[in-house]
Amino acid sequence: MIIISPYSKALKNGKTNAKNYPYWKELIELIKEPIVQIGIEGEEQLVPDFRKNLSLKELESLVNECRTWISCDSFFQHFAWDKKKYGIVLWSVSDPLIFGHPENINLLKDRNNLVENQFLWWEDTEHDANKFFNPSLVLECLNANFP
């Protein structure tokens, strides 16, 4: 089983968070094993098994069960890393050298896509699908690193 954590924190201005991976549906179609989506109420459901608002204990138990996970740059990548269960983080505009962990597989398409000031709110950063890895490359990476 693979966990996916598709969404970063919702922005106050209602815009799409620039850290949210845009190709989840395509990627999910490529993955041939059970997927559990985690998140919170109000987020779009992408797979049949969507577990919302889990407590930290429930989340830990789920992480222990999973083979690995795929996440955008959000709370979950830190949580799973802390539990020593490593996975794939899909980056775009935030810097994995600052906010990531080297034990994870950090997929950043191009460092030129990083926003200059990494420490402001994300409200002013436009979402750009071109700044993310395409799903087939993510799958390749999944198979290569977590066979």
Partner 1 sequence: MDKVLCSVATRGRYQTTLPLTLNAIINQTKKVDKLVIFDDNDEPQDMRNELVYSYFFQMLTIKGIAWEWVYAGKQGQHYIHQMANGMGFDWVWRVDDDAIPEPNVLQTLFNYTHKNVGAIGGAILTPPFPVNSNNEKPTGKIELINREPNIQWSFIEKVKEVEHLHCSFLYRAGVHDYHLGLSRVAHREETLFTYGLFKKGYKILVVPNANTWHFKNPNGGIRSESNEILYGQDETVFNNLVNYSDKTIVILTGGMGDHIVFTHVLPDIKNAEIFTCYPDIVQGKSIAEAHLLFGSIDPWNVYIKMHQWKWKGSLEDAYRKMYL
Binding residues (CB under 8 A) for partner 1: these are 9, 56, 74-79, 81-82, 97-99, 117-120
- Least distance from partner 1 to the Cβ atom of residue 19, Å: 12
Nearest to partner 1 of 25, 111 (CB atom): 111
- Our CB check for partner 1 shows the closer of 21 and 79 to be 79
Handedness of CA 30, 112, 120, 127 (dihedral sign): negative
User: CB of 57: closest distance to partner 1 in angstroms?
Assistant: 9
Give 47's strand partners.
none
Conformational region of residue 48, where left means phi above 0, alpha means psi within -120 to 50, and beta covers everything else: alpha
The CA angle 27-30-32, to the nearest 5 degrees, is: 125
Comparison of 118 and 130: residue with beta carbon closer to partner 1 = 118
